[in-house]
Chain A
Amino acid sequence: GESVGLHLPTLSVQEGDNSIINCAYSNSASDYFIWYKQESGKGPQFIIDIRSNMDKRQGQRVTVLLNKTVKHLSLQIAATQPGDSAVYFCAEIKAGANSKLTFGKGITLSVRP
């Protein structure tokens, strides 16, 4: 069946460096791909999404890249800050009104001071 998965369970980066979080997906029929951030004790928080017909989308300090050829999604965080420490989830969804959001397993980002 379809699945969304993350390559690495943990990522440790130095404060100020750029972070790259990767995700592989298998459902080529998905229309949107989304990144969520979950801080300890909180619910997932929407970061950014990208439509399947796009390759790149930029937000504030974050960039999402989509490579449909290899079914790969990445989240780039510029100048990583301690507040970026969290678990990051990629998710995918089709555009239909009754479609469901499918989450990957999650990766922990740890920012070293």
Chain B
Amino acid sequence: DSGVTQTPKHLITATGQRVTLRCSPRSGDLSVYWYQQSLDQGLQFLIHYYNGEERAKGNILERFSAQQFPDLHSELNLSSLELGDSALYFCASSVAGGRHTQYFGPGTRLTVL
């Protein structure tokens, strides 16, 4: 158990819908990262927040957004969902940014029908 929690574990929805994925980092960690894992693209970095502020963006679509709240939990919002958005979404946390070890949560499996 990494100490990072994610909810829900599974999510099934239809195209065009909007969903919110939630992540609680390890106690004491200020950085939260979101990744997408699909069979053809592997693990892709989406976005990084540190203590409530966005720090870095990766290949995140404009339909996707995220935020980190004062209690340091984070939410990833996916809207206008498409079939290709079906994937595993992982949250990771670390003490700070940069080289500090990232600890991953168990992921949310999103299925768009």
Contact = CB atoms under 8 A, between A and B. Distances in A.
Given A42-B106, A45-B104, A105-B42, A100 B48 contact: yes
B103 interface: yes
Given A89-B43, A95-B98, A100 B58 contact: yes
Contact of B2 (A43, A49, A89): A43
A98 B90 contact: no
B107 interface: yes
Contacts of A34: 101
A34 B107 CA distance: 20
B99 A98 contact: no
Most buried by B among A44, A102, A103: A44
B104 to A, nearest CB: 3
Nearest to A49: B101
B64 interface: no
A46 B4 CA distance: 13
Interface size class of B (residues with CB under 8 A): 20 to 34
A60 interface: no
A57 to B, nearest CB: 14
A43 B58 contact: no
> Which of B42, B58, B101, B102: most chain A CB closer than 10 A?
B42
Contacts of A65: none
B106 A43 contact: yes
Contacts of A32: 99
Interface string B66-105: 0000000000000000000000001010001111011111
| Residue of A94, A100, A106 with highest tally of chain B CB at under 10 A | A100
Given A93-B98, A103-B43, A104-B42, A98 B48 contact: yes
A97 B2 contact: no
Contacts of B90: 43-44
Nearest to B47: A100
Given A89-B43, A100-B48, A103-B43, A45 B2 contact: yes
Interface of B: 2, 4, 33, 42-45, 48, 50, 55-56, 58, 90, 92, 96-99, 101-107
